[in-house]
Structure 1
Amino acid sequence: MLELLPFPFTWVLLGLCAVLLYLYLVWPYSAFKDVGIPGPKPVPLFGNYLSYGKSVGQFDRECYKKFNKVYGIFEGRQPIMMVGDLELVRDITVRETNNFTNRRVLEGQGEIIAKGLTMLKDEEWRRFRSAISPAFSSVKLKQMALVMEKYADNFVDNLDESAKQDAMFNMKELAGAYTMDVIAGTAFGVDVDSLHDPNNPFITNAKKRFDINLFNPFMIILFLFPQLGKVLLHFGVTLFPTEVIDFFNAAVDNVINMRGGNEDDAKRVDFLQLLIKAHNEELDRGVSHELVKHGVSKKAIKRESVLFWLGGYETTSNVISCTAYNLALHQEVQDRVIKEVDAVIEKRGKLDYEALMEMPFLEMCVNETLRMFPASQRLERVCNKDTEIKGLHIPAGTVVNIPAYAIHHDEEIWPEPDKFKPERFSKEEKEARDPYAFLPFGSGPRNCVGMRLAQLELRFALAKALQKFRLVPCDRTVVPIRIKNTLSNQIEDGVWLKVEART
């Protein structure tokens, strides 16, 4: 039979392989076309990933505007439904949250990241969230403020040294040391004193964790060949340096061991102690989470502690740095903040938790910075069952992304979106605007659990600084600020400023 073919059988096999390869490369790219959802044209194998070269935020802004807020893109062969319509955002993150509880897990990140709170699913996530939420109540935050104030004073002491020497300094470095000290002190009861030691191992290791961008070879593998990430993980190769995770694992072990049977430690109300109190030994023995409805395992305590320590470092220091940058470039705005800080201190006699709650214009400046530079440029959910919202059919298993950065720069919602205008967050403007147009810490039950701590922490640093100094640009100030090509808003090359003592 084969002898009847007009060409060798080898060529038939090659042709068949070529057809199968072609189908493998292009088959997923009809996913959105079949249901009438528009989007940019994908490239075989890469999808739209190469378009991230212009930055994810810029790519999202262009697509959001061109395709009327709802569109489909591809990361490699993975379809991603992008949803920027605010009514859909509300329904996905709040009203239909039970259908959109989880996030996508990328293989190859390592167990600590892949099984952290942000990646936990369904009941396991709810269990953990309920265990740690009490750490961020108003009562607990007031108690943490006493510790935070100490580190804010150290932050100001560093500024004082720069002022005396008339020296330029990198606000990102200084803010990073401050946030590391705060997270160590408030969440773990440890004094690492990074502000007095720029080469502190906590800082050097945390920096390594965030020294990555979307075109890192390993990152490309995770997005384009996710199964290969699992293979590399089997051989101990992960996206994030293992020495960083090992360092913070050891640090958490030390703190837990120090708290052995000490009665005073048992009375603590910080993040770690709440997890220790929630410890359930049944989970350590491998009993199913479905059978044990309460508590967390010892392994989970360590995992979440490492992630919280690392997560508390980067995001907040970015916001402090970007807000300081905005105030330095807009002296008239800084004048208003200084006037507010002075008035509240004169009224109360000190700068404490209650005083910070009476500074609405400072809050407006922070919120406007978060609008321009949201902690995450996208919010992700995975649809767990077929869902219909406003005529949009979302099949089970669909990865849904909300382009927060694009929404925050929508000219119809935020006129002149690239300009720093704190007045956008006045009481009147906030009441007139859709609340889902501002998503700096996410939305709904899966928003950032530590956002209140972060807001208090950065207000303390800024208010304490402006009580004594004026922030000004210097020769090394880069305008506009440069952001690394990541899904978050990490600053490229730091934020260089100077301070002048107030007269």
Structure 2
Amino acid sequence: MLELLPFPFTWVLLGLCAALLYFYLVWPYSAFKDLGIPGPKPVPLFGNYLSYGKSVGQFDRECYKKFNKVYGIFEGRQPIMMVGDLELVRDITVRETNNFTNRRVLEGQGEIIAKGLTMLKDEEWRRFRSAISPAFSSVKLKQMALVMEKYADNFVDNLDENAKQDAMFNMKDLAGAYTMDVIAGTAFGVDVDSLHDPNNPFITNAKKRFDINLFNPFMIILFLFPQLGKVLLRFGVTLFPTEVIDFFNAAVDNVINMRGGNEDEAKRVDFLQLLIKAHNEELDRGVSHELVKHGVSKKAIKRESVLFWLGGYETTSNVISCTAYNLALHQEVQDRVIEEVDAVIEKRGKLDYEALMEMPFLEMCVNETLRMFPASQRFRKEEKEARDPYAFLPFGSGPRNCVGMRLAQLELRFALAKALQKFRFVPCDRTVVPIRIKNTLSNQIEGGVWLKVEART
């Protein structure tokens, strides 16, 4: 029978293999079409990933404009439904959390990041979340504020040096050092003093963690062939530099050992001590997470500590930098913030936790920056009440929102209020308008945020 074929059997096999490969590459791409969900046309194997070359934000805006509030895209062969309909956002994040409990896990990140709080699933996530949530209560935040104020004063001292020298400076570097000091001090009781040492290893290693381009070859492999991430992990190859994780791992080990041998250290009320108190040895012995309803393992304590140390660095420093940038470009808005800061301090006699809670206009400016648009007043009480609460979710929503949200907000306000108490932010020759965002995993700023400060008269 094979002899009757008009061409060699080898060509038949090759054709069959080519057809099977093609169908393997494209078969997921009918998922959204079958459901009647619009979206940009995917490319075999890559899906819509190549469109990220113009930046993820720009691609999202173009799709939203063309396909409206619900559309589907593909990262490689992985279908991703993008939801902008506010009722659906509410359903997914709050009403139907039992059906949308877990988050997508990107392979190849390494054990510490892949098993962090944001990636934990089901009961393991619920147990861990309940263990660490008390660290961010109002009582704990007031205690942390006393430590935070010290680093905010150091932040202002740096601004003062720049003001005296009439120097241009990268606000992102200064804000990053401040947030690193706050995290180390409030969560781990460690004074790393990054504000006085720009080459501090905590800073240099944290920067490496976030400088991952979307078109890094390893990143492309993970999106196109996610299962290869597990294979590469066996050879010690991960998305994030292993030396960065090793550095913070060692730092956490040192702090934990210090706590174990010092009674005064063990009396702290910070994030790490709360985890240590929640330690459950049953989990260390391998008892199923489903059978143990409370506590955390020793591995989990280390893992979450490393992630917390890293996680609060980039995002908070970005917001501080961009808020200062917005205020520098909108002096009339900065005037109003300064008036508010002065009035509250005059009323209370000092700038503390309670004073920061009485600065709604400063909060508006921070929120506007979180929206990534130039400052205007969209967050007045009347505006917020008239707007659907799910139209603005800078820290997420529902049970899986950002656990450190209140700490981050307090950290932001302390730095900005302390700074505006003495200085004005102003643009300089190196200020870029508008800000350019790098095409990375996070909203990193291209070239930094260059400003000057002037002493208030």
Structure 1 residues 330-389: Cα deviation after superposition (integer angstroms, max 9, x where no partner): 000000000111111111111111110111100000010011179999xxxxxxxxxxxx
Structure 1 residues 116-160: Cα deviation after superposition (integer angstroms, max 9, x where no partner): 001000100001100000000001000000000000000000000
Contact persistence 1:376–1:488 (CA under 8 A)? no
1:410 is matched with none
CA 340–202 in structure 1, closer or farther in 2 if over 3 Å, else same: same
Q: CA–CA distance in 1 between the matches of 2:117 and 2:132?
A: 10
Q: CA–CA distance in 1 between the matches of 2:291 and 2:185?
A: 35
CA drift of 1:262 comes to: 2.9
Q: Residue 227 of structure 2: SS of its match in structure 1?
A: helix
Q: CA–CA distance in 1 between the matches of 2:456 and 2:258?
A: 43
Gaps of 5+ in 2: none
Alignment map for 1:113-128 (pairs within 5 Å): 113-128=113-128
- Compare relative contact order (CA 8 Å, sep 6+) and give the higher one, 1 or 2: 1
Structure 1 residues 96-125: Cα deviation after superposition (integer angstroms, max 9, x where no partner): 011101111111110011000010001000
CA drift of 1:264 comes to: 2.3
Q: CA–CA distance in 2 between the matches of 1:226 and 1:373?
A: 34
- What is the percentage of aligned positions where both structures have the same residue? 98
Q: CA–CA distance in 1 between the matches of 2:33 and 2:4?
A: 41
Contact persistence 1:374–1:441 (CA under 8 A)? no
Contact persistence 2:180–2:203 (CA under 8 A)? yes
Q: CA–CA distance in 1 between the matches of 2:348 and 2:177?
A: 29
Contact persistence 2:187–2:272 (CA under 8 A)? yes
Contact persistence 2:369–2:375 (CA under 8 A)? no
Structure 1 residues 154-181: Cα deviation after superposition (integer angstroms, max 9, x where no partner): 0000000000100000000000000000
Q: CA–CA distance in 1 between the matches of 2:271 and 2:344?
A: 30
Q: Residue 12 of structure 2: SS of its match in structure 1?
A: helix
Q: CA–CA distance in 1 between the matches of 2:347 and 2:176?
A: 31
Structure 1 residues 211-239: Cα deviation after superposition (integer angstroms, max 9, x where no partner): 11211111111111111121111110000
Structure 1 residues 434-460: Cα deviation after superposition (integer angstroms, max 9, x where no partner): 000001011111000001000000100
CA drift of 1:81 comes to: 1.1
Structure 1 residues 302-338: Cα deviation after superposition (integer angstroms, max 9, x where no partner): 0000000000111100000010000000000000000
Contact persistence 1:171–1:496 (CA under 8 A)? yes
CA drift of 1:290 comes to: 1.0
Q: CA–CA distance in 2 between the matches of 1:334 and 1:162?
A: 19
CA drift of 1:266 comes to: 2.6
Structure 1 residues 244-266: Cα deviation after superposition (integer angstroms, max 9, x where no partner): 00000000000000001433223
TM-score normalized by the length of structure 1 = 0.89
Contact persistence 1:328–1:471 (CA under 8 A)? yes
Q: CA–CA distance in 1 between the matches of 2:265 and 2:196?
A: 26
Q: Residue 20 of structure 1: SS of its match in structure 2?
A: helix
Contact persistence 2:327–2:375 (CA under 8 A)? no
Figure out how many residues of one structure are paired with residues of the other and give that number. Answer: 457
CA drift of 1:66 comes to: 1.3
Q: 4+ runs of 1 displaced by more than 3 Å?
A: 373-377
Q: CA–CA distance in 1 between the matches of 2:333 and 2:213?
A: 33
Gaps of 5+ in 1: 378-423
Contact persistence 1:375–1:440 (CA under 8 A)? no
CA 477–195 in structure 1, closer or farther in 2 if over 3 Å, else same: same
Instruction: Find 2:383's aligned residue among 404, 410, 429.
Output: 429
1:502 is matched with 456
Contact persistence 2:213–2:440 (CA under 8 A)? yes
Structure 1 residues 277-306: Cα deviation after superposition (integer angstroms, max 9, x where no partner): 000111111111111111100000000000
Q: CA–CA distance in 2 between the matches of 1:212 and 1:261?
A: 38
For the aligned residue pairs, the C-alpha RMSD in angstroms reads 1.9
CA 254–152 in structure 1, closer or farther in 2 if over 3 Å, else same: same
Q: Which range moved further: 28-37 or 263-272?
A: 263-272
Q: Which range moved further: 308-317 or 52-61?
A: 52-61
Q: Residue 460 of structure 1: SS of its match in structure 2?
A: helix
